[in-house]
Amino acid sequence: MKYYILFGPPGAGKGTQAKKIITKFNYLHLSTGDLLRGEIKKGSKLGKNAAFIIEQGNLVPDEIVADMIKKQFEAHKNDVDGFLLDGFPRTKKQAVMLDKILFEMNQEVTQILSLHLDDKYIFDRIFHRAQIEGRKDDTKTEVIQNRIDTYHSKTEPLISYYKKQDKYFEIDGLGTIDEIFEKISKIF
């Protein structure tokens, strides 16, 4: 089984590229954002708690996210050729949690595909996406800036974590959807 992580700042195009990857390679896209939005839409206890946290521009607690991911691995292990994680891990603590989950399954992270995008493009993409997809949490300037700051302070340190494991591959996030997908496909 393959376990790829799609990495990059918010608004880098991870969701768009994930759709193309899962279609071509028969992977299950595990977007923590989509999983959490599903819980919010259901109105579950987890969803209500997550909604409050997300509206503040903060990250949902690690244990909740890790448990959701582990359940997806178990539920779909015979359905797909691999998993594409999007939005998890976002911190070194989550990366260690993921390594532990996979170790218990006699598996490991295959590779990290990182879409790189400068800050000047991130804000515009997040705001534009929020308007198209109706993501109310991404329409406030302070929430968007908090997400960008959180990415730099908590998520970017994962780059060195995965470089040390020789699993990190960076891809320029600028270009057409197809140009970026071509770069990703070469790595696969």
- What are the Cα distances from residue 165, in Å, to 8, 95, 100, 151, 177? 18, 12, 15, 21, 28
- CA gap 12, 114 in Å, rounded: 9
Domain 2-181 has CATH 3.40.50.300: yes
User: Where along the chain do its domains lie?
Assistant: 2-181
Distance of alpha carbon 73 from the chain centroid: 15
Q: Is the Cα torsion angle 172, 177, 178, 181 positive or negative in sign?
A: positive
Give which of 58, 33, 65, 88 is closest to 149, Cα–Cα.
Answer: 58
Which distant-in-sequence residues (6+ apart) come within 8 Å of 129 by Cβ?
A: 11, 135, 138
- CA gap 66, 102 in Å, rounded: 11
List per-residue pLDDT tens for the chain, 188 residues long.
999 999 988 888 888 899 999 999 999 999 887 888 888 898 988 788 888 887 887 778 888 888 889 988 998 989 999 999 988 898 889 999 999 999 999 999 999 999 998 888 888 888 878 778 877 666 678 888 888 888 888 888 899 999 999 999 999 998 899 999 999 999 88
